[in-house]
């Protein structure tokens, strides 16, 4: 027994030692309790109140969630000017592009506020305040409750809390579960709905390196774009109107031209999407054997087919640029994640934690009663759902995400229900049709039937090859029977007969909608057949009870097992802060990657015959004359740098802030050697890749000639 406790002491020390300052996505309201001393020692000059305050303007007021959390952006002027990543604004840049105005290729700069481009559906959300409400929820729960009863109780309690938080104001509120359902936090937010495109560099800067350099270091990408937030004349959130005015920023970030040195303090604030740091070994294996391989396989096929068509015609290149970019990002992420999980032996490390946890639990009868079945519950659920998980993954990737008209056609479900009503409400039907026609404009603008036809044929063939009949939607089963497995023949008929594949036929149907025609349409039949996914999900419910209970109790037990450790909750698109330092790393034996790159590296990578590495003549002129203005130092212009901040998807566009609260860069990527980071943070290898703010300003001011935008900002020389 004495040996065991000596071992446990060592394990606690080891567990603590692995939690370096660079690891952790911390809730802002808690930083004063757990992080300030360490951050101050590392170089932070601010107080906790200057970072997060509900009584005065603070850093949190300058950082917002784009599109409900897909990316992060930061205010950099008193008039609502935003900076984020180029890839975060890519959809809007693409949407405004045409053969006549190719903003993807040439870039876009609004030379006056009248030139700023509105974007339907683009939003930014700022946090007003957050508050832990665990003590209002958890005491009302108990371990005898089943999952449904527990969820119902939580829902009832959170509705009351949200109602109280929004009473007498125009804010939004939500209560989010943290620490696998062991703690709960209230977030009160405000969302602005008029966000206009202000500027974006050409792809040769904003996406320099494209897929080849994605997730890689050294990096030379000017990954930024600019937007502006507008409000109604009263200063409140409003839909787009020519009468709207620029947001009067509560706080905006001053910008440092002083640069950084290795070891300098860095803080990143943003809205990280999802991590699974407390995942068990069985879940890691599930992702290694199912999730990542299927995503890699399916998206690899789709990406090749899209790129083939994009390389042939400029119109298709513009139409599919954003689609290809979104799909490719997580395709390559899965490749790197799978490789990293294996190389860093994450499964084995998780197994060691589980062994230690089991030993700790077995030392106490009360602990055995509470936590004794937690790990087995998780194991049983993950192993039991395996076949269903395979089917679900293929269905989502190949059917929903692989067939454009099926995804788009889901919008017609509301129309079907309205038409099927025994007493149809024509006024309501007309409203639905108007909305569907408006939605169709954007869809068909970026839709190329020949490309979708190729992808759909490949996806149908893949589903037939990979899934058993019990998991196939009825339309795909029909390919096996009626069409004798000939996917091309089925798809040919689909494209000839379905109005979803042609905008003219789509609008003609909308002008004279018929329930009978809708139900007979091959495209809509494919939409209705997607119900199979929900049947698969229904079968997975049998494993959710034990899985939910197991994951909740496992994490609760870990927190109790290591009482001296400051745990942070997994990312879930809520506002977080993390901190670290600027630094280099050794990716492999005898190889050192320095902590910054320069414009010289752009020129070294140039390949005029490869669209991924084209360099414009204008940028080369600045390089050759070393004309960088106040943004260069001694004839050198820094482009990107690395720090050991802890980020993930959703952090794209997050500000990288120095110890004085000044902006020094914009986070945009992680590095290839530590792609396992969403599951297990790798202290020695994991890096946050950032575009240097001085390169951003150089491109805006010198390259684009949009110095009026820089004049809005507060620069610290």
Nearest-angstrom CA–CA distance, 490 and 478: 9
Cα–chain center distance at 462:
27
Please report, in angstroms and rounded to a whole number, the separation of the first and last CA atoms in the chain: 62
Other CB atoms within 10 Å distance of the CB of residue 564 = 8
How many CA atoms within 13 Å lie on the side-chain side of 159? 6
Token duo for residue 254: 């001053």
Residue entry with tokens 């999952």? 147
Token duo for residue 181: 């359902």
Beta-carbon contacts of residue 372 (< 8 Å; ≥ 6 apart): 361, 362
Q: Which of 631, 650, 602 is nearest to 692 (CA)?
A: 631
CA dist 70 to 178, 341, 571, 572, Å?
A: 19, 25, 13, 11
Give the CA radius of gyration of the chain: 26
Phi, psi of 630 (to 5 degrees): -80, 5
Token duo for residue 613: 């590495």
- The b-or-e profile of 247-265 (16+ CB within 10 A means b, else e) is bebebbbebbeebbeeebb
Judge contact between 197 and 96, C-beta under 8 A.
Answer: yes
Beta-carbon contacts of residue 435 (< 8 Å; ≥ 6 apart): none
Nearest-angstrom CA–CA distance, 600 and 492: 51
Do the bridges between strand 108-109 and strand 71-75 make them parallel or antiparallel, or are there none, so unpaired? unpaired
CA dist 338 to 88, 278, 279, 570, Å?
A: 25, 17, 15, 20
Beta-carbon contacts of residue 632 (< 8 Å; ≥ 6 apart): 626, 694, 698
Do the bridges between strand 245-246 and strand 265-270 make them parallel or antiparallel, or are there none, so unpaired? unpaired
How many CA atoms within 13 Å lie on the side-chain side of 445? 16
Nearest-angstrom CA–CA distance, 55 and 332: 43
Q: Which of 96, 120, 111 is nearest to 194 (CA)?
A: 120
Q: Which of 567, 11, 680, 560 is nearest to 281 (CA)?
A: 680
Token duo for residue 565: 């450790």
Burial environment of residue 194 by CB neighbours within 10 A (0 to 12, 13 to 18, 19 or more): buried
Nearest-angstrom CA–CA distance, 80 and 93: 19
Token duo for residue 286: 């599930």
Instruction: List residues with catalytic annotation.
Output: 87, 223, 652
Nearest-angstrom CA–CA distance, 126 and 249: 11
Q: Which of 305, 308, 295, 370 is nearest to 550 (CA)?
A: 370
345 conformational bin, left if phi > 0, alpha if psi -120 to 50, beta if neither: left
Other CB atoms within 10 Å distance of the CB of residue 307 = 16
SS (H, E, C) 137-182: HHHHCCCCCCHHHHHHHHHHHHHHHHHHHHCCCCCEEEEEEEHHHC
């Amino acid at each position: 027994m004495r040996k065991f406790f000596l071992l446990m002491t060592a394990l606690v020390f080891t567990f603590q030692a692995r939690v370096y300052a660079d690891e952790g996505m911390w809730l802002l309201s808690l930083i004063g309790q757990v992080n300030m001393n360490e951050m101050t020692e590392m170089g932070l000059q601010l107080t906790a109140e200057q970072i997060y305050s509900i009584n005065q303007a603070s850093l949190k007021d300058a950082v917002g969630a784009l599109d409900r959390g897909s990316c992060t952006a930061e205010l950099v002027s008193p008039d609502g000017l935003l900076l984020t990543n180029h890839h975060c604004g890519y959809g809007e840049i693409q949407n405004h592009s045409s053969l006549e105005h190719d903003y993807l290729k040439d870039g876009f700069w609004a030379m006056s506020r009248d030139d700023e481009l509105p974007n339907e559906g683009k939003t930014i959300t700022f946090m007003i305040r957050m508050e832990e409400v665990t003590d209002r929820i958890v005491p009302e729960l108990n371990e005898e409750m089943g999952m449904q009863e527990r969820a119902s109780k939580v829902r009832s309690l959170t509705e009351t809390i949200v109602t109280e938080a929004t009473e007498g104001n125009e804010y939004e509120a939500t209560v989010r579960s943290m620490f696998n359902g062991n703690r709960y936090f209230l977030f009160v937010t405000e969302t602005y709905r008029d966000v206009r495109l202000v500027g974006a560099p050409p792809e040769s800067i904003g996406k320099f390196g494209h897929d080849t350099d994605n997730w890689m270091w050294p990096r030379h990408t000017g990954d930024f774009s600019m937007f502006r937030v507008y409000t109604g004349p009263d200063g409140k959130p409003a839909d787009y109107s020519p009468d709207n005015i620029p947001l009067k920023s509560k706080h905006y970030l001053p910008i440092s031209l002083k640069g950084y040195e290795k070891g300098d303090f860095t803080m990143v604030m943003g809205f990280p999407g999802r991590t699974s740091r407390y995942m068990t070994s069985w879940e890691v294996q599930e992702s290694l054997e199912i999730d990542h391989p299927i995503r890699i396989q399916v998206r690899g096929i789709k990406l090749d087919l899209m790129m083939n068509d994009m390389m042939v015609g400029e119109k298709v290149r513009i139409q599919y640029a954003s689609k290809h970019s979104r799909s490719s990002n997580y395709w390559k992420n899965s490749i790197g994640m799978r490789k990293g999980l294996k190389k860093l032996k994450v499964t084995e490390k998780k197994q060691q934690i589980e062994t230690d946890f089991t030993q700790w639990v077995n030392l106490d009868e009360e602990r055995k009663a509470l936590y004794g079945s937690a790990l087995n519950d998780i194991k049983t659920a993950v192993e039991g759902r395996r076949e269903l998980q395979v089917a679900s993954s293929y269905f989502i990737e190949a059917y929903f995400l692989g067939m454009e008209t099926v995804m788009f056609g889901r919008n017609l479900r509301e129309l079907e229900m309205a038409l099927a009503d025994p007493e149809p409400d024509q006024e309501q039907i007309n409203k639905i049709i108007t909305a569907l026609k408006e939605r169709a404009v954007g869809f068909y603008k970026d839709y190329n039937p020949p490309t979708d036809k190729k992808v759909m044929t490949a996806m149908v063939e893949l589903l037939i090859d990979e899934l058993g009949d019990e998991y196939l939607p009825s339309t795909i089963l029909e390919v096996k029977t009626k069409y004798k497995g000939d996917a091309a023949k089925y798809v040919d008929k689909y494209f000839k007969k379905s109005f979803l594949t042609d905008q003219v036929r789509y609008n003609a149907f909308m002008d004279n909608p018929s329930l009978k025609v809708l139900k007979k349409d091959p495209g809509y039949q494919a939409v209705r057949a997607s119900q199979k996914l929900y049947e698969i999900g229904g079968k997975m419910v049998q494993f959710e009870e034990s899985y939910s209970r197991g994951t909740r109790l496992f994490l609760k037990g870990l927190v109790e097992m290591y009482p001296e450790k400051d745990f942070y909750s997994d990312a879930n698109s809520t506002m977080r802060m993390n901190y670290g330092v600027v630094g280099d790393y050794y990716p492999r034996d005898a190889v050192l990657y320095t902590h910054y790159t320069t414009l010289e590296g752009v020129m070294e990578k140039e390949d005029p015959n490869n669209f991924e590495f084209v360099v414009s003549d204008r940028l080369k002129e600045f390089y050759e004359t070393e004309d960088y203005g106040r943004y260069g130092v001694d004839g050198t212009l820094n482009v990107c740098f690395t720090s050991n901040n802890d980020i993930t998807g959703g952090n794209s566009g997050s500000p990288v802030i120095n110890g004085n609260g000044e902006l020094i860069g914009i986070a945009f990527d992680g590095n290839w050697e530590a792609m396992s980071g969403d599951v297990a943070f790798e202290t020695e290898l994991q890096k946050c890749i950032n575009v240097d703010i001085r390169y951003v300003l150089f491109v805006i001011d010198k390259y684009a000639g949009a110095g009026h935008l820089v004049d809005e900002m507060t620069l610290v020389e």
